[in-house]
């Protein structure tokens, strides 16, 4: 890790822990490209773990569906990390943090039973590494002064809005090759706000998993047994307020429920 990546990560970690609005990097700390951004991201995870946010738990993949690419204006997948303190089991009660804005996404996730090396990873190899499949709600956080003004390297460095996961029941016997045919809806306070199917994720969610394996290999890392990987959102991000109830129903993976708590209560 370079000194510059460590300094940038320290700035991000301080902003994240203060629960305020990050204005963007000073010019001398701004990551020049995606490779530099991922170096900052790795250092950020170390800093957050040292600050008590828990050990490493897994990965998130963003911008794998057209709906999210259109929403963010970014055409290629990106990856972020998930720490143990950010993983919740459905039903969950979670409050917005500080001055940040809480959002939700309708996701498909897997837990790995085996390590998955990269370098030309195939869909078959990705499928063989999966131990369980589940529906999930990804928690995202608008923790920026003006996120539309921030570029992709800045967002990647800060886990691309990532704030955690709410996981539904794990299905150890589910064939991951069938994820492309899964369908899901997301409702807020009983009103459906979006729907999609697994095939919306790069044509097959396992393609996203293989992409991540290769992307990590290029950084000298690999996917490891026990990690959770959330593969992409089937619905555009929805920003929520205290008192709202979010329900994702995935056929055949089941439901995930989140109640947005009042941080002052």
Identify the structural domains of the chain with CATH numbers, from first to last: 56-260 (3.90.850.10)
Whether residue 72 has pLDDT greater than 80: no
Compute the average pLDDT of residues 109-123.
Answer: 95
11 to each of 47, 78, 142, how far by Cα in Å?
A: 10, 21, 17
- Kindly tell me if the per-residue pLDDT of 249 is higher than 80: yes
Q: How high is the pLDDT of residue 98?
A: 80
Asked whether the predicted pLDDT for residue 130 surpasses 80, the reply is: yes
CA distance 126 to 117: 9
pLDDT-based confidence at 203, cuts 50/70/90?
A: very high
* Cis peptide preceding 252, ω within 30 of 0: yes
CA distance 51 to 187: 35
pLDDT, position 1: 58
Q: How far is CA 196 from the centre of its chain?
A: 17
Does the pLDDT at position 74 exceed 80?
no
The pLDDT of residue 11 is 96
Q: Please report the pLDDT score of residue 63 as a whole number.
A: 86
Rounded to two decimals, the pTM is: 0.94
Give the mean pLDDT of 174-185: 98
């Amino acid at each position: 890790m370079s000194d510059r990546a460590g300094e940038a990560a320290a700035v991000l970690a301080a902003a994240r822990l203060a629960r305020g609005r990050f204005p963007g990097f000073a010019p001398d700390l701004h990551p020049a490209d995606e490779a530099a951004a991922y170096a900052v991201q790795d250092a950020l995870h170390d800093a957050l773990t040292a600050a008590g946010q828990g050990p490493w738990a897994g990965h998130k993949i963003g911008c794998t569906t057209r709906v999210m690419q259109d929403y963010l204006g970014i055409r290629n997948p990106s990856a972020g990390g998930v720490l143990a303190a950010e993983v919740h089991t459905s039903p969950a009660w979670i409050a917005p943090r500080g001055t940040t804005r809480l959002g939700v996404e309708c996701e498909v996730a897997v837990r790995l039973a085996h390590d998955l090396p990269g370098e030309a990873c195939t869909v078959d190899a990705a499928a063989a590494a999966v131990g369980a499949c589940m529906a999930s709600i990804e928690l995202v956080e608008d923790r920026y002064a003006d996120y539309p003004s921030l570029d992709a390297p800045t967002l990647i460095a800060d886990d691309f809005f990532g704030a955690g996961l709410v996981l539904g029941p794990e299905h150890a016997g589910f064939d991951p090759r069938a994820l492309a045919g899964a369908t899901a809806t997301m409702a807020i306070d009983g009103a459906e706000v979006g729907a999609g199917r697994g095939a919306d994720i790069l044509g097959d969610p396992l393609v996203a998993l293989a992409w991540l394996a290769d992307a990590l290999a290029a950084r000298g890392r690999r996917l490891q047994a026990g990690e959770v990987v959330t593969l992409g959102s089937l619905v555009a991000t929805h920003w929520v307020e205290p008192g709202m109830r979010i329900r994702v129903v995935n056929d055949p993976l089941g439901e995930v429920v989140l109640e947005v708590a009042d941080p002052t209560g």
